[in-house]
Amino acid sequence: MTHRRMGTLYVVATPIGNLGDLGTRAAEILGSVSRIAAEDTRHSSRLLGRLGIRVPMLSLHEHNEAARVTQLRQYLEAGEDVALISDAGTPLISDPGFIVVRELRAQTYPVVPVPGPSALITALSGAGLPTDRFRFGGFLPARSGPRRQALEALQERDETLVFYETPHRIRHTLDTLEAVMPDRHLVLARELTKTFETFLSGTPAALSEQLRDDPDQARGEFVVMIAGATPQADHEQQNLSADALLAALLAEGVGVKQGAAVAARLLGGRKQVWYARLQALKE
Ligand code: SAM
């Protein structure tokens, strides 16, 4: 009895602007599969047309992804290879594909990633911010309250923070950052790999001003990168908490000598130093 070969789902990254960034392996696979599942078939058929690739396509987007799993399984069972692509960059990274990959993997179908461009990694590789640890937050919430809360919750994180952002929200995000992390160093990567690629850096207020002065800088696609909280900031935070504790001790009527002993016990350091600080606060 011969077993029919099962098809493979290839998860293929496509360019984020510059078509030259499509890898040789990705092009070969896109040209050899039986079908291509694309987020927006009209958009992707332009890319494929330019590459001279003609393969039947089917749409796969956030609204039909779950329903497509059965269909994709049937193609794979019939021995057909299928490529999954998104509009730009790596599928599943703030793009559809997660449900399909999870389900097909759970059912032991072959899933093979074909790496290539992603705005996240491209931006980090050119920004000059620490990359040993970073936190990718996808898109921030669209509404201003939840967006502010999301950023407040990340205020103390010491790794580089990375977000995707759209041109119509970039100014709002900078305003929110100005309120939540006014001294933080930011890098905005815009239009990566395209003609007008730019990296702007500075505090939230400085970047808002640059976008106001040159509205062209507010157009296109953005990756927002935020330097992590520094030990200096942590130190200042600790000093703030120390001052809050000393003020509370004084307000409760604890004497300077006794207060210094309490502070030294809780926060470490010499009693004399806390005595001097309490004395200064009292005056
Ligand atoms: N899957 C894609 C990837 O791997 O990069 C991301 C898709 S997500 C729907 C689109 C967002 O990615 C944009 O809003 C923007 O924040 C970012 N992006 C995509 N292409 C970009 C580019 N050329 N320059 C800057 N940001 C880009």
* Distance in angstroms (rounded) separating the CA atoms of residues 241 and 124: 34
- Using most ligand atoms within 8 A of CB, pick from 62, 98, 124, 221 the residue to mutate for ligand 1: 221
Does the pLDDT value for residue 268 go beyond 80?
no
Index of the ligand 1 atom closest to the CA of residue 13: 4
Mutate which of 40, 85, 94, 124 for ligand 1 pocket (most atoms within 8 A of beta carbon): 94
Q: How far does residue 87's CA lie from ligand 1's centre (Å)?
A: 9
Sorted by where each starts, the structural domains of the chain and their CATH numbers stand as: 9-117 (3.40.1010.10), 120-226 (3.30.950.10), 232-282 (no CATH)
> For 137-173, what is each residue's pLDDT tens digit?
999 999 999 999 999 999 999 999 999 999 999 999 9
The answer to whether the CB of 162 is under 6 A from ligand 1 is no
Q: What is the pLDDT of residue 240?
A: 58
Please write the tens of the pLDDT for every residue from 59-89: 999 999 999 999 999 999 999 999 999 999 9
pLDDT tens profile 83-133: 999 999 999 999 999 999 999 999 999 999 999 999 999 999 999 999 999
Q: Is the pTM of this model over 0.75?
A: yes
Cα–ligand 1 centroid distance for 279 (angstroms) = 55
Encode pLDDT of 190-248 as tens digits: 999 999 999 999 999 999 999 999 999 999 999 999 999 986 545 555 555 777 888 88
How far is ligand 1, taken at its centre, from the CA of residue 9, in Å?
23
DSSP the chain: -PPPPPP-EEEE-B-SS-GGGS-HHHHHHHHHSSEEEESSHHHHHHHHHHTT----EEE--TTTHHHHHHHHHHHHHTT--EEEE-SSBSTTSSSS-HHHHHHHHHTT--EEEE----HHHHHHHHH-S--SSEEEEEEPPSSHHHHHHHHHHHTT--SEEEEEE-TTTHHHHHHHHHHH-TT--EEEEESTTSTT-EEEEE-HHHHHHHHHH-GGGGSS-EEEEEPPPPHHHHHHHHHHHHHHHHHHHHHTT--HHHHHHHHHHHH-S-HHHHHHHHHHHH-
Q: What is the pLDDT of residue 269?
A: 67
pLDDT tens-place string over residues 173-192: 999 999 999 999 999 999 99
The atom number, within ligand 1, closest to the CA of 91 reads 1
From the CB of 95, is ligand 1 less than 6 Å away?
yes
User: What is the model's pLDDT at position 235?
Assistant: 52
Calculate how far, in angstroms, residue 109's C-alpha sits from the geometric centre of ligand 1: 29
Q: In this predicted model, what pLDDT tens digit does every residue of 32-54 receive, in sequence order?
A: 999 999 999 999 999 999 889 99
Give the model's pLDDT for residue 236.
54
pLDDT at position 1 is 55
Asked if residue 124 has its Cβ within 6 Å of ligand 1, the reply is: no
